[in-house]
Amino acid sequence: MLGVIEFGMSLQIEDYHALGAFRYAVRKFLRFSKTVLASVELTPEQYEVLLAVKTHAGPNSINIGYVSERLQVKHHTAVSLIDKLAAKNLVARKRSSKDRRQVHIKLTQRGNSVLSKVATIHRREMRQRSSEMIKTLRRLQK
């Protein structure tokens, strides 16, 4: 992977400070997020699936291939995540009437409720932490 990276640009100490500050801010948020998600017995990946399903709700909703791409995981990992969410009655599968090989994923009423609860908490926390993250990103843009 390092072979792809361009080494021609030299960084200043301020760049290292900004990179470290941003990663620190992200790490603090992710620690907070894991605590919130644990309270409703979700993993971060399961939460990401719920977000993906919610943002693509509609007549065709999303399929396992989309979940796999969205989360950058292998197909079988996406299937496993969806299996676990379905066992918790947070999502439901529906086979496509046009192509029986396609399985669409939809949020259940319980899934909508749980997602709404944790998304509201995440949004509030992001609003509190966003200025710190934006500030460090702006330092990196210079």
Q: 13: which 2 tokens?
A: 């100490």
Summarize pLDDT for 43-92 with one digit per residue, the tens. Answer: 999 999 999 999 986 666 788 889 999 999 999 999 999 999 999 999 99
Q: Is residue 2 a part of any domain in this protein?
A: no
Check residue 12 and give its pLDDT. Answer: 87
Eight-state DSSP code of residue 142: -
Q: Is residue 123 a part of any domain in this protein?
A: yes
pTM of the predicted model, to two decimals? 0.84
Q: Is residue 5 a part of any domain in this protein?
A: no
**What residues does 93 pair with on adjacent strands?**
105
- Euclidean distance between CA atoms 53 and 62, whole angstroms: 6
Residue ranges making up the domain that contains 66: 11-141
Q: CATH number of the domain at 85, please.
A: 1.10.10.10
Q: Is residue 88 a part of any domain in this protein?
A: yes
Q: Is residue 76 a part of any domain in this protein?
A: yes
Mean pLDDT throughout 131-141? 88
Of 136 and 120, more confident:
120
Q: Is residue 1 a part of any domain in this protein?
A: no
| pLDDT higher than 60, residue 1 | no
- Euclidean distance between CA atoms 48 and 42, whole angstroms: 10
pLDDT tier at 140 (50, 70, 90 boundaries)? confident
Q: Is residue 69 a part of any domain in this protein?
A: yes
**How far, CA to CA in Å, does 134 sit from each of 57, 72, 130?**
30, 25, 6
Q: Is residue 6 a part of any domain in this protein?
A: no
Number of domains forming the structure of the chain: 1
- Classify the phi-psi angles of 58: left when phi > 0, otherwise alpha if psi is within -120 to 50, otherwise beta: left
